[in-house]
Chains A and B, each alone.
Chain A
Amino acid sequence: DVKVTQSSRYLVKRTGEKVFLECVQDMDHENMFWYRQDPGLGLRLIYFSYDVKMKEKGDIPEGYSVSREKKERFSLILESASTNQTSMYLCASSLIGRNEQFFGPGTRLTVL
């Protein structure tokens, strides 16, 4: 059974803080993704990675960066958090060549 975990379910940070969101998957998936979910906007792709140290920008990468030093771990970094980054953040993973993405439980981030 695929398991994707995220480091926190709820997180409260202050404007200007550096924020790290961690995602770990235990099924040896090559692909990993970070989305943000906002009401009425669906899931929007921030960044994704198809291999260790490889990354590609998604549709809304501004204000975010990512790190993938190990295959099982994909980190989302907010260099200087802003209130408009208050959102639900979802991580997902998939096997190379396969379409189905498996999601983590999400991190609800509030930036004050």
Chain B
Amino acid sequence: GENVEQHPSTLSVQEGDSAVIKCTYSDSASNYFPWYKQELGKRPQLIIDIRSNVGEKKDQRIAVTLNKTAKHFSLHITETQPEDSAVYFCAASLTRIQGAQKLVFGQGTRLTINP
């Protein structure tokens, strides 16, 4: 089955700097890669996702890149702000013809933005 590895487990950056979180996956058939953000005491929420037919996707200060050959994808946050402090989870999924889309999550990265 699919296995997703996420690094680093913790990341601390100065406000205004960039942050990068990386994930690798094992199943080359996986074709959907979302990123979820979980603020302290709150539920995970989708912040950005990418499909395997696209190499990069941006949404304001966040971007995701995908390298299918190397089977890794990354989350990039630029101009970090205190509200970016949270735990971030990557995931991978294989489109199924029937039934639910099953996500396999990485271990999570605790991002701290220092003022």
> For residues 10 through 42 of chain B, which have their beta carbon under 8 Å from a beta carbon of chain A?
32, 34, 42
Q: Say yes or no: is A62 at the interface (Cβ < 8 Å to chain B).
A: no
Contact partner of A56 among B93, B99, B107, CB < 8 A?
B99
* CB closest chain-B residue, reference A43: B105
- Grouping DSSP codes into helix (H, G, I), strand (E, B) and loop, the B interface class, with mixed when no group exceeds half, is loop
B43 touches A99 (CB 8 A): no
Question: Contact at A50–B105, with CB atoms within 8 Å?
Answer: no
Q: Mark A80-112, 1 if CB is under 8 A from B, else 0.
A: 000000000010001010111101111000000
Chain B residues in 8 Å Cβ range of A100: 34, 46, 49
Interface residues of A in 43-101 (CB under 8 A from B): 43-45, 48-50, 54, 56, 58-59, 90, 94, 96, 98-101
Residues of B within 8 A of A44 (CB): 105
> What is the chain B residue whose CB lies nearest that of A56?
B99
Please count how many residues in chain A sit with their CB below 8 Å of the partner chain's CB atoms.
29
A41 — which chain B residues lie within 8 A by C-beta?
A: 107
| Chain A residues closer than 8 Å to B107, beta-carbon distance | 40-42
Q: How far is the CA of A54 from the CA of B43 in the complex (A)?
A: 25
Contact B89 A42 (CB under 8 A): yes
Interchain CB contact under 8 A, B100 and A40: no
Q: Does B101 contact A (CB under 8 A)?
A: yes
Which B residues lie within 8 Å of A33 (CB)?
A: 100
What's the minimum C-beta distance from B100 to chain A, rounded to whole angstroms? 4
A residues in contact with B32, CB < 8 Å: 99
Does B52 interact with chain A (Cβ within 8 Å)? no
Given contacts A40-B9, A42-B6, A59-B1, contact A101 B103 (CB under 8 A): yes
With A43-B89, A99-B93 as known contacts, state yes or no: A104 contacts B43, CB within 8 Å.
yes
Interface residues, chain B, with chain A CB atoms under 8 Å away: 1, 6, 9, 32, 34, 42-46, 49, 89, 93, 98-108
A interface vs B, CB < 8 Å? 4, 30-31, 33, 35, 40-45, 48-50, 54, 56, 58-59, 90, 94, 96, 98-101, 103-106
